[in-house]
Amino acid sequence: MKKSRKMQYCTKCLMPSTRPRITFGEDGVCNACNWAEEKKSFDWSPRWKELEALCDKYRSRNKEHFDVIVPYSGGKDGAYIAYKLKNELGMTPLVVTVRPPMEDPIGVQNISNFLDHGYDHIMITPNREVGMYIDKQEFINRGIPMHAHMMAVQTVVFRCAVTYNIPFVMFAEEGETEYGGSSKLKNKYTYDLEDSINFYLSGSDPTRYLDHFTKKELYWYTYPTREELMKLQPEISHWSYFEDFDNYKHYVLAKEKLGLLEKEERNTGSYENFSTTDTYIIWLYFYLMYLKFGFGRTTNVVGTDIRRGALSRKQAVELVKKYDGEYPEEYIEFYLDYYKMTREEFDAVIDKWANKELFVKENGRWVPTFEVY
């Protein structure tokens, strides 16, 4: 089958024009690469001073309890941020984990290893029946297979901020700016409720499920009331505003200082082995992303590696051709059990969301009709 050049690709990385909210300059370079180039001559010291002032503010405010909440999945970024806040900025973080479905054993071990290094931690397990229902509906109707967990990563943290009276929260990267999306938050260290819904929940307000569940059943999947948030005035922040965000640097520190383990084999649909170790369902998420938009996990990873100077674009093209969109065969039985679906029902949903302008089905698998170049 002869493939055609159906998509515009960034001339520096390989992010295509199908990525939601991406923009390109006249030279064909995407906004993520332009931001990476801008950061090479960026003076981070004023922003770091802002962070120091925030830390001083909340140490003074909180005194006898935790100063800051750090969301933590068991991976490199949350571990790095908690370490820096504790050891370089004198903060006492409360680390919060939202327990995912289909936990990866290496992720569970990484949480245990991290906690052995002296951090206070709570793990919230939102109602699994509620989460499974939401995930199944979103998988069928929107092609998003782990939306309940994506919701909870935001809503649980907002809830914990209110419950524990900790207005300062430090998430990892602001993905829109870092990876090629909206630049709205590029020069802001905080974001609000509407940004949380629009950017991190794909525009899906969790309250839409109140027609099926009670407010109590949906507690961890919904945000605090506006009155509660107005009273607390939380500063929901991203670490990437204050310091150049380098995934590999985070991995090295977490491995050396906090016992982070990587997999022995590469991740499905990619060539690296040290990220996204929390849940098996993530590989279905990346596969569907590939079928809908024509780029998968490898495209994301090579973009990061190109921007940090670890990979050439020519090398990246070969890696994307080899690994992007790999079918997560080894996890299919987990997915069928979770969604309570037959293989035929599951395959029908996959077929529904495959972009017919970019893929054609051959021998039971969707194959690309586009050329990566």
Cα(252)–Cα(241) distance, rounded to whole angstroms?
Answer: 21
Buried/exposed code over 52-71 (b: 16+ C-beta within 10 A; e: otherwise): eebbeebbeebeeebbbbbb
Contact 232, 291 (CB under 8 A): no
Cα(144)–Cα(284) distance, rounded to whole angstroms?
Answer: 9
Tokens of 100: 């995912």
Amino acid at 214: T
Cα(213)–Cα(207) distance, rounded to whole angstroms?
Answer: 10
Contact 291, 256 (CB under 8 A): no
Amino acid at 307: R
pLDDT tens digits for the chain (373 residues)?
Answer: 889 999 999 999 999 999 999 999 999 999 999 999 999 999 999 999 999 999 999 999 999 899 999 999 999 999 999 999 999 999 999 999 999 999 999 999 999 999 999 999 999 999 999 999 999 999 999 999 999 999 999 999 999 999 999 999 999 999 889 998 888 888 888 887 777 777 776 677 788 899 999 999 999 999 999 899 989 999 999 999 999 999 999 999 999 999 999 999 999 999 999 999 999 999 999 999 999 999 999 999 999 999 999 999 999 999 999 999 999 999 999 999 999 999 999 999 999 999 999 999 999 999 999 999 9
Q: DSSP strand E in 76-199: where?
A: 93-98, 120-124, 168-171
Predicted confidence at residue 186, as pLDDT, reads: 85
- Candidates 106, 19, 80; CA nearest to 247 is 80
Q: DSSP strand E in 104-149: where?
A: 120-124
pTM of the model: 0.94
Tokens of 118: 């002296």
In the block, residue with structure tokens 């997560």: 328
Tokens of 339: 């969604």
Q: DSSP states of 16-81 as a string?
A: BTTSTT--B-TTS-BHHHHHHHHHTT---HHHHHHHHHHHHHHHHHHTTS--EEEE--SSHHHHHH
Predicted confidence at residue 202, as pLDDT, reads: 67
Q: Which run of H or E residues covers position 236?
A: strand 235-238
